[in-house]
Amino acid sequence: MSRTPEPADAVQAAECVAEAMIQLWRQAHLEIAPEVSDQQMRTLLVLETGPRHLTALAQQMGVGPSSATRLCDRLGQRGLIERVSAGRQVTIRLTPAGEKLLHATREHRRVLLRQALASIGTDQAVLHDALGQLCALFPVVAPPAAEGS
């Protein structure tokens, strides 16, 4: 006979899911772009939402301007970002290669998620509704949905 889950059980399960999603994202990242550090990937994700001045990027990343400069130097050397000068202002933005890397990482993450969800023996509609409700509580600015998703 199974017991009725307590609220603390749901919190523990949700925490486990969050940690699993972090691991899944990291796995997708490492399998697609192992040469890109976690901090560099975070930088790409920030720039995905739009170009930034270096100071704004540093603030959003929670790093100093010199650290942001080094991050951008490395990403620029890989051709994933570019600096665009307008007078004394320099704007940093993703290149098509940077956009492609994020897209490939996201697509690989979806493959890994599909594999994981296919192995779960639960009602997919119930899972979909529960995850949708959880996501609605913590909205994030998401990139455009993938084709066919």
pLDDT per residue as tens, the chain (149 positions): 566 767 677 888 888 888 988 999 999 999 999 999 999 999 999 999 999 999 999 999 999 999 999 999 999 999 999 999 888 888 999 999 999 999 999 999 999 988 888 887 777 778 778 878 888 887 765 554 444 44
Indicate the length of the chain as a whole number. 149
Give residue for tokens 């940093």. 92
CA distance 106 to 112: 10
User: pTM higher than 0.75, yes or no?
Assistant: yes
